[in-house]
Structure 1
Amino acid sequence: MYVRPATRTDRTALAELHTAAVEAFGPDGYAEEQVDEWAGADERSPEDYSVDAAGEHFTVAVRKGAVAGFGHLVLDVQEVHAVYVHPNYARRGVGSALLAELEGYARGHGCTGLALQSSMNAVRFYERAGYEQVGEGESPGGLAVVEMEKEL
């Protein structure tokens, strides 16, 4: 496996992976109707992934020639917006590698800490990576989330 910056040609894979991950892991923290809304496969589009936007950093993990996961960092607000792993590659270090790359990128750009909104099913993943719970909130889509932070 290796991690690299995402490109425009990855966007279709990101959209498909995003939906697959939500459908596979979302039920660990949310009701079926919430997962269906979050997955939003009919509404998700490759254009939703602004891989070349200024101030944002998308990265992908590639395993056996396939995009196994992706991460998204927004530097302006020092926030991890996403770490998603395809169900076929879960629990193999893909998410940890993506998160470590995002943190390294943030450090390299002067960030001293990162924040994120964790879905309920991912809280333990982020805690194992050193993030601490600082509150509860709601995602833009209306899902309950745990607000977390980590000093870099």
Structure 2
Amino acid sequence: MVEIRPARATDGEALVSVHVAAVRELGAAAYESAQVDAWAANKSPDGYPVDVDTAHFVVATRNGAVVGFGHLEFGVDEVQAVYVHPDYARTGVGRALLDHLEKTAQAAGLERLTLLASKNAVGFYERHGWRGLEWVDHESTGAVVLECLRMEKPVGQSFSIE
């Protein structure tokens, strides 16, 4: 069973571990090794907005261990991140995180959300009702560019193919 809870400052090391593992294993299917290295570089336990008023930052846990995280940024109405440790990919963790972020946006009165999907994550978002808008170049750490798909979804739209 997946539990979603607010992230805490003490989750920092677990967030880095999940983030880097997801990028290295899942991102490698869609990007070159130099791009993956840049994407995974310079992650810091204090680099996640767990105590910022404009962010809703949550973790997914199984048996008390952090196995994923999600980040919704208010003001720009954007899902900034949904990352799942590769050991838990395709087990409902990402879906639980995304559903939670979408419900939080709906409760806040938002009408539409956007996000930038990495090439390896586009199918996941499409299965959950997100629509691609345009391919964009996203500058990662070290000025390395990752091609990503800008996507959108009306808040409150329930749609999932799984």
Fold shared, TM-score > 0.5 on shorter chain: yes
Q: How far is 1:7 from its partner?
A: 1.0
1:133 to 2:136 alignment: no
Residue matched to 1:150: 153
Q: Cα deviations across residues 104-136 of structure 1 (Å, max 9, x unaligned)?
A: 111111111100000000000000010000001
* Cα displacement string for residues 70-127 of structure 1 (whole angstroms, at most 9, x for unaligned residues): 0001011000000000011111000000000000111111111100000000000000
State the SS of the aligned residue for 2:126.
helix
Q: Residue 116 of structure 2 aligns with which residue?
A: 117
- Post-superposition Cα deviations, 1:48-75, rounded to whole Å, max 9, x if no partner, equal 1010101101111100221010000101
Partner residue of 1:29? 30
User: Could you tell me how far apart the structure 2 residues matched to 1:140 and 1:53 are?
Assistant: 23
1:67 aligns with 2:70: no
Cα distance in 2 for residues equivalent to 1:65 and 1:5: 13
Report Cα offsets for 1:17-51 as digits up to 9, x if no partner. 100100010111101111111111xx110111010
Q: CA deviation at 1:140?
A: 3.1
Other-structure match for 1:88: 87
**Take 2:59 and 2:125, find their aligned partners in 1: how far apart are those partners?**
18
Give 4+ residue runs of structure 1 displaced > 4 Å after superposition: none
State the one-letter code of the partner of 1:146. L
- Decide which structure has greater helix share: 1
* Structure 2: unaligned runs, 5 residues or longer: 156-162
Identity rate of aligned residues, in percent? Answer: 49
Name stretches of at least 5 consecutive residues in structure 1 with no aligned partner.
none
Q: Which residue of 2 aligns with 1:10?
A: 11
Count the aligned residue pairs: 150
Calculate the TM-score normalised by the size of structure 1.
0.96
Give the superposed CA RMSD.
Answer: 0.8
* TM-score, normalised relative to structure 2: 0.90
